Amino acid sequence: MSLKKTNLSAYNPTTIPDAKKFIVGIVVSEWNHEVTSVLLEGATSTLLEHGVKKQNIIIEWVPGSFELPLAAQLLVDRTDVDAVICLGCVIQGETRHFDFICSAVSEGIMDVNLTYTLPVIFGVLTTNTQEQALERAGGKHGNKGVESAVAALKMMHLQDKYPD
Ligand code: DLZ
């Protein structure tokens, strides 16, 4: 059986236990808002569907994807979140900004995961074109926000299995 996912929104909901006790942070980038707002919608609706209470979803907007790791760390460090979902969209341009932002964000997010032993989810699209990004923000390839919420739900349950 191939493990390659053809649609980012496709998952088996029965594999996810109820999540009503969890508090989830979402940090989301203002850059490429037309894309990131759809990722946010996909992530929040998926969390709500699995029992996370609306008042237990903390949403913070940041200027760009580069700022996501610090915002995630602020939530992990200063609130009671069980996981943070980082949502952004970096689109290849004419300069090397793309490479610097992508590597800084992915390494920064991994750092927060491992420093705090808490799930911090990489929900950042890194694409060559805006069209490719839109295809993954509610388009033909599904919604990266849904996939990110599912990853957060699974990781919070894993974390729960191994308390301090
Ligand atoms: C500057 C910049 C550029 C060129 N492109 C993007 C992008 O495609 N996606 C994104 O989320 N942010 C971009 N930014 C902004 C940076 O992430 C950051 O907000 C600024 O460099 C300020 O630190």
The whole-number pLDDT of residue 88 equals: 98
Best residue for ligand 1 mutational test, from 90, 94, 105 (most atoms within 8 Å of Cβ):
90
If you ran DSSP here, which 8-state letter would residue 17 be given? -
124 lines ligand 1 (CB under 6 A): no
CB atoms within 10 A of CB 9: 18
Closest residue by Cα to residue 32 from 146, 109, 129, 143: 129
Of all protein residues, whose CA lies closest to atom 12 belonging to ligand 1?
64
Q: Ligand 1 centroid to 89 CA: how many Å?
A: 9
Provide mean pLDDT across the span 81-102: 94
Alpha-helical segments (H) within 51-139? 68-78, 97-116, 130-135
Identify how many contiguous H helices and E strands the chain contains and give both numbers: 5, 6
Parse the chain into domains and list their residue ranges: 43-55+67-157
CA–CA separation, 103 and 65 (whole Å): 11
CA distances to 15, 16, 42, 154 from 12, in Å: 6, 8, 16, 12
Instruction: Check: CB of residue 42 under 8 Å from CB of residue 85.
Output: no
The CA-atom distances, in angstroms, between 64 and each of 44, 75, 87 are 20, 17, 10
Mean per-residue pLDDT over the chain, rounded: 95
Q: Catalytic: which of 50, 97, 141, 157?
A: 97
pLDDT over threshold 60, residue 149: yes
Q: Whose CA is nearest to atom 21 of ligand 1?
A: 66
Q: Given a cut of 50, is residue 1 above it in pLDDT? A: no
Q: Which CATH class is domain 43-55+67-157?
A: alpha beta
